[in-house]
Amino acid sequence: MFFAQGWRNFGPPNCERNNPPPMAKNKFLTSRAENYSDWYNEIVKKAELAENSEVRGCMVIKPYGYAIWERMQRILDDMFKATGHQNAYFPLFIPKSFLSKEADHVEGFAKECAVVTHYRLKNDPNGKGVIVDPEAKLEEELIVRPTSETIIWSTYRNWIQSYRDLPLLINQWANVVRWELRTRMFLRTAEFLWQEGHTAHATEAEAVAEAEQMLNIYATFAEQTLAIPVLRGVKSERERFAGALNTYAIEALMQDGKALQAGTSHFLGQNFAKAFDVKFANKDNQEEYVWATSWGVSTRLMGALIMTHSDDNGLIVPPVLAPIQVVIIPIYRKEEEKVRVVEKCHEVSAILQGAGLRVKVDDDDTKKPGWKFSEWELKGVPLRLALGPRDLENHKIEVARRDTLTKEVMDLGVDFSKVIKGLLEEIQTTLYQKAQAFRETHTHRVDSWEEFQAAIDADIPGFILAHWDGTSETEEKIQEATKATIRVIPFEENPEPGTCVFSGKPSRQRVVFAKSY
RNA sequence: CGAGGCGUAGCGCAGGCCGGUUAGCGCACCUGCUUUGGGAGCAGGGGGCCGCAGGUUCGAAUCCUGCCGCCUCGACCA
């Protein structure tokens, strides 16, 4: 793996001190080349996104990490509202019997459910501490929701009588629990935060359109907000959501060449309507089962964010998403300098905020500028401004780009907020293009089993476009042989037929294989 | 759930084989002075049930037994 290091100067010289010293690679992180998963874990911790908690498999999301998640929530929520969805909240607990009403659904989740069996503790008669009171056993055990289809559809039964009640377009922001044996920060934790949309429709076509619409919203969000290029498509039967007729997904490629499912949208058919007896009277007063969708993205997107853009100096947050887009660092020696410099920093900040930017002046007196540079670099703030006594005199400010690690000196006399805004837009575009270029160079069309194996065994395996005979058996054999799975069957307007790389049987179109998270 | 590794200050570790004053080091923290344009320097200072429980011993961080927890790699997984 090759990764550029160190600050360079950018732009033409426009000031007498236009050659700030370049910086050596910071020494705070393991490099990606050295150990990719150490690098990932260290970013999570050192950028103060999250840390391991006292509870096995669960993490504490720290304020900076949560601020990023809140930005994701805000932007997605606006997109949901703009397409007619409303938020609601359903219980954390699901009666055990609900889960088993849809056969595929329960089979998919049974192995990772946390179960509440008692409702009371009491003092341990044999010593100190408390024990579960055996007298307080629940008549029916409660499952901590791994997803909410069952509780929601049992509720929808009461909400839907007529075609006039449809469509029902509900979303909830919630936590869910899936008892994972092996966890990784943000990518797979026992408890995680997400949103789950659950919609009910009068017709199949409408439900399918909803599932597709939401997939497109996720794709737009990933590409425009997170600057993560994604592939859209349908999941194979093996990868399909438990209880769905069809699962759509967006898949992103991480820097280590593994795929990450970044969002899913499911067409549930009438499976849950039948399981929970949700019917409506159509215009002809005939009873019909309701058609359903569900769709979700989770805090896993934080993992996608980290592994798409970040470098060996730390996190890189795209400007549209960044809770802090611009950090301003005052530089001074004496108290008298400090007053003037800090005042000017706040002045600059106010102008930028007036232009609609999210700005922080880091005037913490207990830390030195160099420390702050590294800190905000680790945290991935897109632009850093530094202002010292010399800049004050010259009416200049130093501007450093996190994505390219370049810096230059900008004149404060002009409409600099416009310049800053332009730079942020450029950073957003650059990040997307860089990720897209990476994906392109790590996407391989293969036509033989030998090529397939060679591609999947590469240091950075990437996406592999190959023909597949459409059977789960073949998919399973390919996975056994290579660890690669079908990430997505792309939407193709003109599918190109061929022969399966594994079985040699006829194939309708190429599908995307990859090793995945 | 399998295999390996690790639990000693907030974090990262040394010490352990070969038991013996007051358990050490780096970072972080506190105080003071000097510093401040890429994680500052010096001086002083605080902080430990050495994972838990039992055993051996005059004496255990160190040896023995059991337990618990964490990490890595597999298995599993929407």
- Per domain, the residue ranges of chain A are 51-92+146-309, 318-430, 443-514
Is the pLDDT at A233 greater than 90, yes or no? yes
Nucleotide nearest to A238 (CA to C1'): B78
Of the pLDDT bands very low, low, confident and very high (cuts 50, 70, 90), residue A132 is: confident
Instruction: Note the CA–C1' distance, A122 to B38, in angstroms.
Output: 57
Tell me what pLDDT residue A179 has: 87
Which residues are bridge partners to A59 per DSSP?
A52
Looking at the domain A51-92+146-309, which fold is it? BirA Bifunctional Protein; domain 2 (3.30.930)
The pLDDT tens digits for A493-513 are 899 999 999 999 999 999 999
Rg, chain A, Cα only? 26
Is the pLDDT at A361 greater than 70, yes or no? yes
Tell me, what DSSP letter sits at residue A222?
Answer: I
Instruction: Note the CA–C1' distance, A34 to B18, in angstroms.
Output: 38
Tokens 């033409």 — which residue? A12
Q: What are phi and psi of A368, to 5 degrees?
A: -85, 160
How far is it, in rounded angstroms, from Cα A257 to Cα A507? 25
Instruction: Note the CA–C1' distance, A368 to B60, in angstroms.
Output: 46
Instruction: Note the CA–C1' distance, A123 to B56, in angstroms.
Output: 36
Q: Are A262 and A250 in contact (CB under 8 A)?
A: yes
Tell me what pLDDT residue A34 has: 81
Least confident of A11-15, A204-208, A290-294: A11-15
Tell me what pLDDT residue A36 has: 86
Is the pLDDT at A18 greater than 70, yes or no? no
Nucleotide nearest to A376 (CA to C1'): B39
- The domain A318-430 having CATH identifier 3.40.50.800: the answer here is yes
The pLDDT tens digits for A317-348 are 999 999 999 999 999 999 899 999 999 999 99
| Sign of the four-CA dihedral A506, A508, A510, A511 | negative
Which of chain B's bases lie under 7 Å from a protein CB? Answer: 1, 35-40, 69-78
How far is it, in rounded angstroms, from Cα A230 to Cα A239? 18
| Residue A219, Cβ density class (10 Å: 0-12 exposed, 13-18 middle, ≥19 buried) | buried
Tell me what pLDDT residue A5 has: 39
Is the pLDDT at A216 greater than 60, yes or no? yes
Q: What percent of chain A has pLDDT over 90?
A: 76
The pLDDT tens digits for A427-440 are 999 999 999 999 99
Looking at the domain A443-514, which fold is it? Translation Initiation Factor IF3 (3.30.110)
Query: Hey, what amino acid is at A447?
Result: D
Of the pLDDT bands very low, low, confident and very high (cuts 50, 70, 90), residue A25 is: low
Of the pLDDT bands very low, low, confident and very high (cuts 50, 70, 90), residue A414 is: confident
How far is it, in rounded angstroms, from Cα A454 to Cα A400? 41
Q: What is the mean pLDDT of residues A472-495?
A: 92
Of the pLDDT bands very low, low, confident and very high (cuts 50, 70, 90), residue A24 is: very low
Instruction: Note the CA–C1' distance, A497 to B46, in angstroms.
Output: 74
Query: Hey, what amino acid is at A154?
Result: S
Q: What is the mean pLDDT of residues A277-296?
A: 97
Is the pLDDT at A92 greater than 80, yes or no? yes
* Residue of A49, A61, A77 lying closest to A196 (CA atoms): A77
Q: What is the mean pLDDT of residues A186-200?
A: 94
Nucleotide nearest to A243 (CA to C1'): B78
User: Where do the DSSP E strands lie in A160-223?
Assistant: 168-177, 191-201
Q: What are phi and psi of A299, to 5 degrees?
A: -65, -5
Least confident of A1-15, A159-173, A445-459, A473-487: A1-15
Tell me, what DSSP letter sits at residue A110?
Answer: G
Of the pLDDT bands very low, low, confident and very high (cuts 50, 70, 90), residue A127 is: low
Identify which has the larger pLDDT, A191 or A352: A352
Nucleotide nearest to A372 (CA to C1'): B39
**For residue A430, what are its two tokens?**
């650059």
How far is it, in rounded angstroms, from Cα A170 to Cα A187? 26
Instruction: Transcribe A366-383 into DSSP letters.
Output: TS-HHHHHHHHHHTT-SE
Nucleotide nearest to A241 (CA to C1'): B78
Of the pLDDT bands very low, low, confident and very high (cuts 50, 70, 90), residue A1 is: very low
List the helix and strand counts (H, then E) for chain A. Answer: 14, 28
* Residue of A393, A226, A230 lying closest to A309 (CA atoms): A226
DSSP β-ladder status, A8-9 and A406-411 = parallel
Q: Which residues contact A486 (CB under 8 A, 6 or more apart)?
A: A235, A236, A238, A239, A468, A475, A511, A512, A513
Average pLDDT, chain A: 91
How far is it, in rounded angstroms, from Cα A176 to Cα A185? 15
Identify which has the larger pLDDT, A33 or A10: A33
Of the pLDDT bands very low, low, confident and very high (cuts 50, 70, 90), residue A13 is: very low
Query: Hey, what amino acid is at A455?
Result: A
**For residue A201, what are its two tokens?**
């429709």
Can you tell me which residue has its alpha carbon closest to the C1' of nucleotide B69? A56
Alpha helices in A328-447 (DSSP H): 335-354, 369-378, 389-394, 416-441
**For residue A164, what are its two tokens?**
């006039």
Q: Are A332 and A344 in contact (CB under 8 A)?
A: no
Tell me what pLDDT residue A69 has: 96
Q: What is the mean pLDDT of residues A130-157?
A: 92
Reported as type and span, the H/E element at residue A103 is helix A103-109
